Amino acid sequence: MSYHLYAIGNALVDTEYEVSDEQLQAAGVEKRHMTLIDGPRRAELLKHVHSVKSHRTGGGSAGNTVVALAQLGGRAFYSCRVADDELGDFYTKDLIANGVATNLTHTKPPEGQTGSCLVMVTPDAERSMSTFLGATADLDESALHPHDIVKARVYYMEGYLAASPSGLAAAIKGRAIAAQAGVKLATTLSDMSMINFCRPGLDAMVGTDLDFLFCNEEEAQVWCGTTDLAIICQQLGQQAHTVCLTRSAKGCLVLDAGQVTEVPAAPVKAIDTNGAGDMFAGAFLYAVTHGHSHAHAAWLANQCAGRVVSQYGNRLSHDAMHGLKADFAQYGAVN
């Protein structure tokens, strides 16, 4: 079987909590950022939110992206790593239920703890993530399926892997396999913390001849060292053939060979930004691998991202995605 998207990234089970800014501060969590934590810190945070209603879903940045693409009707493969525990079983079944092929069905998972992410959402819709990597910290080249990489349209690397030496090495090896086979290359800057602390790893993922780069405006500012949008566009345009720069309620900019196309956002009230960038990437890559222009793909991506931020949780239902796909078909017929 061939795939529209082959991705490698972290396998994390997200547990989301609605908290106040005061609760966030009391827990000592840095707002809007992803922070890596260890087991004792995870236990400490769980005490802070033990009385808060929670919602659990499959997660991981690239995991969300492949699920989004699969829900829209694309074929996706995800290379990742879980442990032989309840969360690992939950994660594997979640991928399968969403129609995503994975290396997890081909090997027995190791003993240990599956990675998890505590997502605290404040009333301003900002998500603050505390990530315990667990088994995914040891993601390595054994998770790769080279024979499936070469049959994919796009190879996608999760930027968070820049924090893991073995995960980064696996992503780069997969990149080389994909490049040699003529598979298009894509990555995301993922989070400001990755840029600040893991820049060399991200530089290696971006490399040369990257086809698609995804980032939000804040990440782009940190990456380029400026808030001047014109300079940012000029710099990012040299990093990849196509850059998608998301700007929340301002929509997104698509940079293609020196041309900048502005695509408006969906008019929604944001209540939870968790998973917005992942959803954008999945919808955009679905559209471009199905023959649509980059501008049309960005329209669909904005609609899907807008829908996911207007609810709590990082995933949309199959019915919601089916409706968005129908809207996209109608949009394409008149534009």
Structure-token pair, residue 135: 């088994």
Q: What is the DSSP string of 12-49?
A: EEEEEEE--HHHHHHHTPPTTSEEE--HHHHHHHHHHT
Q: What is the DSSP string of 277-289?
A: HHHHHHHHHHHHT
Q: Give the three-state DSSP class for 261.
A: strand
Note the pLDDT of residue 258: 84
- The CATH code of the domain that includes 295 is 3.40.1190.20
184-188 and 210-216: which strand pairing?
Answer: parallel
Note the pLDDT of residue 305: 97
Note the pLDDT of residue 274: 85
pTM for the model stands at 0.94
pLDDT in tens, 227-276: 999 999 999 999 999 999 999 999 999 999 889 999 999 999 999 888 99
The CA distance from 31 to 123, in Å, is 12
Residue 274 burial (10 A CB sphere; 0-12, 13-18, 19+): buried
Tell me the CA end-to-end span of the chain in Å, nearest whole number: 33
Contact of 162 with 201, CB cutoff 8 Å? yes
Alpha helices in 50-85 (DSSP H): 61-71
Q: Give the three-state DSSP class for 193.
A: helix
Contact of 49 with 43, CB cutoff 8 Å? no
H helix or E strand, kind and range, residue 102? strand 100-102
What does pLDDT average to in each consecutive run of 10 residues of the chain (335 residues)?
Answer: 96 94 94 91 94 92 98 98 97 97 96 95 92 96 98 97 97 98 98 94 96 97 97 96 96 94 95 92 98 97 96 91 95 84
Contact of 303 with 270, CB cutoff 8 Å? no
Note the pLDDT of residue 238: 96
The CA distance from 153 to 263, in Å, is 24
The CA distance from 182 to 185, in Å, is 9
What values do phi and psi take at 303, rounded to 5? -65, -45
Structure-token pair, residue 186: 């894509």
Q: Which residues face 57 on adjacent strands?
A: 14
CA 219 to chain centre: 14
> What's the structural domain count of the chain?
1
The CA distance from 297 to 288, in Å, is 6
Q: How many CA atoms lie within 13 A of 128 on its CB side?
A: 19
Contact of 272 with 205, CB cutoff 8 Å? no
Which domain range does residue 20 map to?
Answer: 3-334
Q: Which residues face 17 on adjacent strands?
A: 54, 120
